[in-house]
Structure 1
């Protein structure tokens, strides 16, 4: 899947159940949630996802604002 003008992310928190993370790519959506009550493994996965998303964003910032060799400084 690729990003574009129709791509977005949303978190749907619920008072009586686990949250849902929605990744929308126009006509395609991916929903991320747990199988039941949250576990330590679920939390670790969420933290991994956040770390990798942050790395992805920094890499894109370097591509957009950086030097041709990718050594630019993230905004």
Structure 2
């Protein structure tokens, strides 16, 4: 991860569990929406207008970090410090 240029002024913690889920809404006539649902709380991720290069880079970064997060969870779940034998 790259170092933040501005300090955080707040943090929201949303924990996963049986009610957590994600869903992509690929609309044909407007920008897509990624929904992150945590029971009674939802986070919607979308662009502020027509898709830009920055939007694409953010989406790729989000996917990359989500993949790394999943791999870290797999290592923890299976107790593997090196990640060998973990499903990709």
TM-score, normalised via structure 1 length: 0.92
Q: Which runs of 5+ in 1 are unaligned?
A: none
The higher relative CO (CA closer than 8 Å, separation ≥ 6) is in 1
Q: Which runs of 5+ in 2 are unaligned?
A: 1-13
Counterpart-to-counterpart distance in 1, 2:66 and 2:83: 19
TM-score, normalised via structure 2 length: 0.79
Counterpart-to-counterpart distance in 2, 1:11 and 1:72: 28
Question: Which one has a larger percent helix, Structure 1 or Structure 2?
Answer: 1
Counterpart-to-counterpart distance in 1, 2:26 and 2:69: 24
Tell me the CA shift for residue 14 of structure 1.
0.6
Residue-pair matches, total? 73
Query: Residue 44 of structure 2: SS of its match in structure 1?
Result: strand
